[in-house]
Amino acid sequence: MDYEKFFGEQIEQLQDEGNYRIFADLERMAGEFPRAKAHHGDSVDEIVVWCSNDYLGMAQHPEVLAAMVDATERYGAGAGGTRNIGGTHHEIVLLEQELADLHQKEAALVLTSGWVANLTALCTLGAKLPGAVIVSDAWNHNSMIEGIRAGRCDKVVFRHNDVDHLELILKALPEGTPKIVAFESVYSMDGDIAPIADILEVCERHGALSYIDEVHAVGLYGERGGGVCEREGLMDRVDVIQGTMAKGFGVIGGYVAGSRKMVDFVRSFGPGFIFSTALPPPVAAACRASVAWVKAHPEIREKHQERARALSDRLLSAGLPVMVNQSHIVPVKVGDPVLCRRASDLLEERGHYVQPINYPTVPKGTERLRFTPSPNHDEQMMGSLERAMVAVWKELGLPLSGAESSAA
């Protein structure tokens, strides 16, 4: 086989469809977020970043930076191996206690990313529970889909957020079948929120283990940032809460939280935990500082929600097709991959960076720009973005007719 020819043809196909991914060459600036430098060959421009998942700007928080620097000087840069081989660094033990406390669970297990946490936990549960069936929301993230696939158990998909469909599926499974219902709280591309209480009720009625991905909610919702489950008083009813430290907490790393036995089970059998080097101690220290700070500062969550509403309202009143939803995510529909890329390029020329979201991240025909304003995005930035968006929409001949209903 001519491997190079094959690789080239596949890439060309993506380019022809307008789905080839081009990364922005950015330099984040500590203390200046959301301002950043954008490199274009030899030139460097200053831009405002609108699409970061560092939702609260915690990646530059002085206490987080100080914890990371201090831990680097004390412990060095790396963990020294998997936790089986190199030992568990004390910073990770403390971080797991902090996370278990955040979710009011008996225990938590830290993995190297949210993706690895989902892959490992679902694959382990699916593979080891005898005859298990995983019932998965149709919009679940790739990390859950890959985890379910890797566990090689049976899988049934329920229509997105459709509790009646979920119940029909559970009812049809033979009595005594181990069942895991896997879903998310905030779906990150449309910003819609799952009917968690209803899903849990159905799980309880049918003896299913509930598994929720709160990746786009931890740090952001609930009195202490425990996610939508905390906000809705449901944390004690969910069996497995999965989260990340890369978004609301601004660093990196993933985790699952739940009963001591469930966590010990994933620790003892999960390949993505057993066979992969642990998070570096300075990273664990930065994560812990971030979680502790975010827990104690509900005002940052209020400011975050207020900024998201302010941007959504502003773009809507300018006639832009905002896909209105209940969360902090502000998607604006374009509906075409080439125009979506072009809109992103034209905005960048005007000093605003927002990544185009194209297939396969979202279904074809629903291509969009996805804005995630943080507490640091001020009125002046929002005004400038609004003017730039209207100019770009006019230049591309896109309609300025207002709200777009979400696909949810």
Interface residue list for ligand PLP (CB under 6 A): 113-115, 118, 141, 143, 184, 188, 213, 215-216, 244, 246, 254
Minimum CB distance to ligand PLP smaller for 255 or for 393: 255
Least distance CB 143 / ligand PLP (angstroms):
5
Least distance CB 180 / ligand PLP (angstroms):
16
Minimum CB distance to ligand PLP smaller for 216 or for 368: 216
User: Given 105, 155, 247, 333, which residue is catalytic?
Assistant: 247
* Cβ partners under 8 Å of residue 5, min gap 6: none
Phi/psi of residue 133, nearest 5 degrees: -120, 130
Q: Which two tokens stand for residue 262?
A: 């469930």
Least distance CB 186 / ligand PLP (angstroms):
8
Q: How many residues does the chain have?
A: 408
* Cβ partners under 8 Å of residue 358, min gap 6: 18, 19, 337, 340, 341, 367
List the one residue out of 120, 177, 180 whose CA is nearest residue 150. 120
Rounded to whole angstroms, the Cα distance separating 359 from 398 reads 19
Minimum CB distance to ligand PLP smaller for 245 or for 398: 245
Least distance CB 192 / ligand PLP (angstroms):
13
Q: Is 247 a catalytic residue?
A: yes
Least distance CB 34 / ligand PLP (angstroms):
18
Q: Walk across the sheet containing 107-111 and list its strands.
A: 107-111, 254-258, 240-244, 209-213, 179-184, 133-137, 154-158
Q: Alpha carbon 10 to chain centroid distance?
A: 28
Per residue in 332-366, is it b (16+ CB within 10 Å) or e — as a string?
bbbebbebbbbbbebbbeebbbbbbbbeebbeeeb
Q: Which two tokens stand for residue 381?
A: 């930035």
Minimum CB distance to ligand PLP smaller for 211 or for 265: 211
Minimum CB distance to ligand PLP smaller for 103 or for 216: 216
Burial class from Cβ neighbours inside 10 Å (0-12, 13-18, 19+) for residue 296 reads: exposed
Question: Which residue has the closest beta carbon to ligand PLP?
Answer: 114
Minimum CB distance to ligand PLP smaller for 178 or for 225: 225
Q: Which two tokens stand for residue 204?
A: 């309880």
Least distance CB 121 / ligand PLP (angstroms):
11
List the one residue out of 286, 335, 325 whose CA is nearest residue 54. 286
Minimum CB distance to ligand PLP smaller for 254 or for 331: 254
Q: Which two tokens stand for residue 316?
A: 């809507």
Least distance CB 329 / ligand PLP (angstroms):
11
Rounded to whole angstroms, the Cα distance separating 39 from 20 reads 19
For the annotated catalytic residues, the residue numbers are 247
